[in-house]
Amino acid sequence: MKRRPLLLSMTLAAALLAGCATVPGGDPGAASTVSRPMSDITPATPAEGRARVHVDLGMAYFEVGRYDVALDEARIALNDSPNYAPAYHLLGLAYMLIEENAAARENFERALREAPGDPDFNNSYGWFLCTQGQAQQGLDRLALAARNPYYRHPGRPLTNAGLCYLRLKDDAAAEVQFMRAVQADPANGQALYQLADIAYRNGRYDQARGHLVRLHQQLNPSAASVWLGLRTERRLGNQDAAASYASQLQSRFADSEEFKLFNEGKFE
């Protein structure tokens, strides 16, 4: 599926305090305030401005899988501004992707000490906690990010919450989160795919088909979505539609694991 990159975040203490608001019913152990994402706030000093440039560059490298360069740029940013929270956030992301989990946790927590209400930071740390067997703590963080009134991307933590519930094998709770994610962002390909997959696994093939049609109207298909579409149409008895998906799988994704499964007749 098309991967949506995480946005960087940045701010300064004075602006953060000015933008804070109390969150009713804040989660235990999570931040009790929300604030504007640091990415929406102009750096306070020239040093923070230089740090922001390096974090932006590091994030660009992160998004193309150059985690080594992302780490280097984050460290350079901290040389300019030692308390610059987005640099710690970038370190956390990079360490998470190279599976240095202790370092990832340390840097996410440092970012949140500097900016506890930042929704990007809470989203990233929430997902990290879900991957580390701390699902409830992670879900609390993701909920905090999703309900931040200043956050322009609530679909991200809602999608991550859905994925977290899938790790807990709770399809019903996951489906609720993915539906909320699509309401927040109708072009959320990850959420649409997961909704289709949940519907398929639970025998609701018409619903699965509807989600896939909507997905393919907005985004280019992936091997996974074409394979799910093929299996859905087979279940519905729509042989022409299934054959069309099979043709796509062969012409566009012949090297995929899904095409291998198709050739082997392993539809389930």
- For residue range 42-59, what is the model confidence (pLDDT) as tens digits? 888 999 999 999 999 999
CB neighbours (10 Å) of residue 251? 9
Radius of gyration of the chain (CA): 20
**How sure is the predictor about 201, in pLDDT bands with cuts at 50, 70 and 90?**
very high
Residue 13 has pLDDT above 90, yes or no: no
**How sure is the predictor about 222, in pLDDT bands with cuts at 50, 70 and 90?**
very high
Per-residue confidence (pLDDT) for residue 33, from 0 to 100? 63
Averaged pLDDT for residues 168-194:
97
Per-residue confidence (pLDDT) for residue 40, from 0 to 100? 85
Homologous superfamily (CATH) for 1-138: Tetratricopeptide repeat domain (1.25.40.10)
Per-residue confidence (pLDDT) for residue 27, from 0 to 100? 42
For the CA atoms of 149, 132, 72, 56, the dihedral, rounded to the nearest 10 degrees, stands at -20
Q: Contacts for 56-62 with beta carbons within 8 Å, 24 or more apart?
A: 56/8, 58/87, 58/90, 58/94, 59/5, 59/6, 59/8, 59/90, 62/90, 62/93, 62/94, 62/97
pLDDT digit string, tens, across residues 118-131: 999 999 999 999 99
Per-residue confidence (pLDDT) for residue 16, from 0 to 100? 28
Per-residue confidence (pLDDT) for residue 30, from 0 to 100? 43
Per-residue confidence (pLDDT) for residue 7, from 0 to 100? 32
Averaged pLDDT for residues 175-200:
97
Domain boundaries, the chain: 1-138, 221-268
Averaged pLDDT for residues 58-64:
96
Distance of alpha carbon 160 from alpha carbon 138, whole angstroms: 9
Would you say 264 and 248 are in contact if contact means Cβ atoms under 8 Å apart? no
CA atoms within 13 A on the CB side of 268: 6
How many percent of the chain have pLDDT more than 90?
83
Per the listing, tokens 């640091």 go with: 38
Residue 149 has pLDDT above 70, yes or no: yes
How many percent of the chain have pLDDT more than 70?
87
Per-residue confidence (pLDDT) for residue 34, from 0 to 100? 67
Per the listing, tokens 């509807």 go with: 210
